[in-house]
Amino acid sequence: MGPSELRPYVEELSRIADCLVSVHPNAGLPNAFGGYDESPESMAREMTDWAKRGWLNIVGGCCGTTPSHIAAILAGCRGVKPRVIPRIESRCRLAGLEPLNIGSGSLFVNVGERTNVTGSSQFKKWILAGEDEAALAVARDQVENGAQILDVNMDEALLDGEAAMTRFLRRLATEPDIARVPVMI
Protein backbone atom coordinates (compact mmCIF):
# COMPACT_ATOMS: atom_id res chain seq x y z
CA MET A 1 0.00 0.00 0.00
CA GLY A 2 1.04 3.55 -0.58
CA PRO A 3 1.01 6.36 1.98
CA SER A 4 -2.60 7.41 1.37
CA GLU A 5 -3.85 3.84 1.91
CA LEU A 6 -1.68 3.31 5.00
CA ARG A 7 -2.44 6.64 6.66
CA PRO A 8 -5.40 5.63 8.89
CA TYR A 9 -3.60 2.49 10.08
CA VAL A 10 -0.37 4.31 10.89
CA GLU A 11 -2.29 7.01 12.75
CA GLU A 12 -4.11 4.43 14.89
CA LEU A 13 -1.01 2.28 15.44
CA SER A 14 1.02 5.28 16.57
CA ARG A 15 -1.67 6.07 19.14
CA ILE A 16 -1.80 2.61 20.72
CA ALA A 17 1.62 0.99 20.18
CA ASP A 18 3.96 1.04 23.15
CA CYS A 19 6.92 0.30 20.88
CA LEU A 20 8.73 1.90 17.96
CA VAL A 21 6.64 2.42 14.81
CA SER A 22 8.48 1.63 11.58
CA VAL A 23 6.71 2.47 8.30
CA HIS A 24 7.86 1.54 4.79
CA PRO A 25 5.08 2.28 2.28
CA ASN A 26 5.11 1.47 -1.41
CA ALA A 27 5.27 4.28 -3.94
CA GLY A 28 1.49 3.99 -4.29
CA LEU A 29 -0.45 1.00 -5.54
CA PRO A 30 0.81 -0.88 -8.61
CA ASN A 31 -0.51 0.47 -11.90
CA ALA A 32 -1.78 -1.68 -14.80
CA PHE A 33 1.80 -2.30 -15.93
CA GLY A 34 3.11 -3.33 -12.50
CA GLY A 35 4.87 -0.01 -11.91
CA TYR A 36 4.37 2.55 -9.16
CA ASP A 37 3.33 6.13 -9.87
CA GLU A 38 3.79 8.04 -6.59
CA SER A 39 6.50 10.66 -7.03
CA PRO A 40 9.34 11.13 -4.54
CA GLU A 41 7.98 14.60 -3.74
CA SER A 42 4.41 13.53 -2.97
CA MET A 43 5.61 10.57 -0.93
CA ALA A 44 8.02 12.79 1.01
CA ARG A 45 5.22 15.31 1.73
CA GLU A 46 3.09 12.57 3.25
CA MET A 47 5.92 10.99 5.26
CA THR A 48 7.06 14.40 6.53
CA ASP A 49 3.51 15.17 7.66
CA TRP A 50 3.39 11.85 9.55
CA ALA A 51 6.75 12.55 11.17
CA LYS A 52 5.66 16.05 12.26
CA ARG A 53 2.48 14.58 13.74
CA GLY A 54 4.65 12.29 15.85
CA TRP A 55 3.52 9.04 14.23
CA LEU A 56 6.93 7.64 13.21
CA ASN A 57 10.15 6.36 14.70
CA ILE A 58 11.60 4.74 11.58
CA VAL A 59 10.65 5.48 7.98
CA GLY A 60 11.67 4.04 4.65
CA GLY A 61 10.18 2.74 1.45
CA CYS A 62 9.19 -0.54 -0.11
CA CYS A 63 7.92 -1.53 -3.56
CA GLY A 64 8.40 1.10 -6.22
CA THR A 65 10.55 3.41 -4.12
CA THR A 66 13.87 4.51 -5.58
CA PRO A 67 16.92 6.23 -4.12
CA SER A 68 15.19 9.50 -5.11
CA HIS A 69 12.17 8.61 -2.96
CA ILE A 70 14.35 7.79 0.04
CA ALA A 71 16.41 10.97 -0.41
CA ALA A 72 13.24 13.09 -0.55
CA ILE A 73 11.82 11.40 2.56
CA LEU A 74 15.12 11.91 4.39
CA ALA A 75 15.23 15.58 3.41
CA GLY A 76 11.66 16.12 4.63
CA CYS A 77 12.08 14.26 7.91
CA ARG A 78 15.54 15.58 8.78
CA GLY A 79 15.42 17.41 12.09
CA VAL A 80 11.94 16.16 13.02
CA LYS A 81 11.89 14.52 16.43
CA PRO A 82 10.89 10.85 16.43
CA ARG A 83 7.62 9.70 17.91
CA VAL A 84 7.47 9.58 21.69
CA ILE A 85 6.48 6.08 22.75
CA PRO A 86 3.29 6.41 24.79
CA ARG A 87 2.76 4.73 28.12
CA ILE A 88 -0.21 2.47 27.48
CA GLU A 89 -2.33 1.08 30.31
CA SER A 90 -1.99 -2.68 30.47
CA ARG A 91 -5.32 -4.33 29.76
CA CYS A 92 -6.88 -7.23 27.95
CA ARG A 93 -7.47 -6.19 24.34
CA LEU A 94 -9.70 -8.36 22.17
CA ALA A 95 -11.30 -7.71 18.84
CA GLY A 96 -13.83 -8.90 16.35
CA LEU A 97 -14.37 -6.18 13.77
CA GLU A 98 -14.51 -3.76 16.71
CA PRO A 99 -12.12 -3.55 19.68
CA LEU A 100 -13.02 -4.72 23.17
CA ASN A 101 -10.78 -3.41 25.94
CA ILE A 102 -11.13 -5.00 29.35
CA GLY A 103 -9.38 -3.11 32.14
CA SER A 104 -9.50 -2.77 35.89
CA GLY A 105 -12.58 -0.56 35.56
CA SER A 106 -14.50 -3.22 33.63
CA LEU A 107 -16.91 -4.58 36.21
CA PHE A 108 -18.69 -7.05 33.94
CA VAL A 109 -18.14 -8.64 30.53
CA ASN A 110 -21.24 -10.14 28.91
CA VAL A 111 -20.36 -13.47 27.26
CA GLY A 112 -23.02 -14.92 24.97
CA GLU A 113 -23.04 -18.64 25.79
CA ARG A 114 -25.93 -19.90 23.66
CA THR A 115 -23.71 -20.66 20.61
CA ASN A 116 -22.49 -23.72 22.47
CA VAL A 117 -23.70 -27.23 21.58
CA THR A 118 -23.15 -28.46 25.14
CA GLY A 119 -24.99 -25.52 26.70
CA SER A 120 -27.92 -25.01 24.34
CA SER A 121 -30.00 -27.96 23.13
CA GLN A 122 -31.71 -25.76 20.50
CA PHE A 123 -28.39 -24.54 19.07
CA LYS A 124 -27.11 -28.14 19.08
CA LYS A 125 -30.20 -29.31 17.16
CA TRP A 126 -29.70 -26.61 14.49
CA ILE A 127 -25.98 -27.37 14.12
CA LEU A 128 -26.60 -31.14 13.83
CA ALA A 129 -29.33 -30.47 11.23
CA GLY A 130 -27.05 -28.10 9.26
CA GLU A 131 -29.46 -25.21 9.78
CA ASP A 132 -26.82 -22.49 9.60
CA GLU A 133 -29.23 -19.55 9.34
CA ALA A 134 -31.03 -20.55 12.53
CA ALA A 135 -27.68 -21.07 14.30
CA LEU A 136 -26.47 -17.65 13.11
CA ALA A 137 -29.70 -16.11 14.39
CA VAL A 138 -28.75 -17.31 17.89
CA ALA A 139 -25.40 -15.52 17.60
CA ARG A 140 -27.02 -12.37 16.17
CA ASP A 141 -29.64 -12.30 18.93
CA GLN A 142 -26.96 -12.50 21.61
CA VAL A 143 -24.94 -9.63 20.10
CA GLU A 144 -28.06 -7.50 19.63
CA ASN A 145 -28.90 -8.09 23.30
CA GLY A 146 -25.52 -7.00 24.62
CA ALA A 147 -23.10 -9.91 24.32
CA GLN A 148 -19.57 -8.49 24.17
CA ILE A 149 -17.97 -11.89 23.42
CA LEU A 150 -19.49 -14.98 21.78
CA ASP A 151 -18.64 -18.39 23.27
CA VAL A 152 -18.67 -20.90 20.40
CA ASN A 153 -18.33 -24.60 21.25
CA MET A 154 -18.82 -27.57 18.92
CA ASP A 155 -17.59 -30.31 21.29
CA GLU A 156 -20.24 -33.01 20.81
CA ALA A 157 -19.80 -36.76 20.29
CA LEU A 158 -22.31 -36.93 17.40
CA LEU A 159 -20.69 -34.03 15.55
CA ASP A 160 -17.51 -33.55 13.53
CA GLY A 161 -16.58 -30.63 15.77
CA GLU A 162 -13.72 -29.35 13.64
CA ALA A 163 -15.80 -29.23 10.45
CA ALA A 164 -18.81 -27.73 12.25
CA MET A 165 -16.65 -25.08 13.94
CA THR A 166 -14.96 -24.18 10.66
CA ARG A 167 -18.28 -23.90 8.80
CA PHE A 168 -19.97 -21.89 11.55
CA LEU A 169 -17.09 -19.46 12.11
CA ARG A 170 -16.72 -18.86 8.36
CA ARG A 171 -20.42 -18.04 8.14
CA LEU A 172 -20.25 -15.88 11.26
CA ALA A 173 -17.31 -13.93 9.79
CA THR A 174 -19.47 -12.91 6.81
CA GLU A 175 -22.01 -11.23 9.08
CA PRO A 176 -20.58 -7.84 10.20
CA ASP A 177 -23.31 -7.30 12.78
CA ILE A 178 -22.20 -10.52 14.52
CA ALA A 179 -18.47 -10.52 13.69
CA ARG A 180 -18.01 -7.14 15.37
CA VAL A 181 -17.54 -8.92 18.72
CA PRO A 182 -14.68 -11.29 19.64
CA VAL A 183 -15.25 -15.04 19.59
CA MET A 184 -14.23 -17.30 22.47
CA ILE A 185 -13.60 -20.86 21.28
**What is the per-residue pLDDT for 139?**
97
Domain that holds residue 162: 111-184
> Based on the structure, what is the number of domains in the chain?
2
- Give domain status of residue 23, yes or no: yes
Distance CA 185, CA 183 (A): 6
Q: Based on the domain organization, do 17 and 69 belong to the same domain?
A: yes
Per residue in 48-93, pLDDT (tens digit) is 999 999 999 999 999 999 999 999 999 999 999 999 999 887 788 8
CA angle at 150 for the pair 149 and 155, rounded to the nearest 5°: 140
More confidently predicted of 107 and 40:
40
- Give domain status of residue 86, yes or no: no
**What is the per-residue pLDDT for 167?**
95
| Three-state SS at 40 | helix
- Shortest CA distance to 110 belongs to which of 147, 152, 151, 150? 147
Question: Residue 106's pLDDT band (boundaries 50, 70, 90)?
Answer: confident
**What is the per-residue pLDDT for 82?**
95
- Give domain status of residue 103, yes or no: no
Per residue in 128-166, pLDDT (tens digit) is 999 999 999 999 999 999 999 999 999 988 899 999 999
Phi-psi region of 34 (alpha: psi -120 to 50; beta: other; left: phi over 0): left
* Pair type for strands 22-23 and 58-59: parallel
The pTM of this model reads 0.61
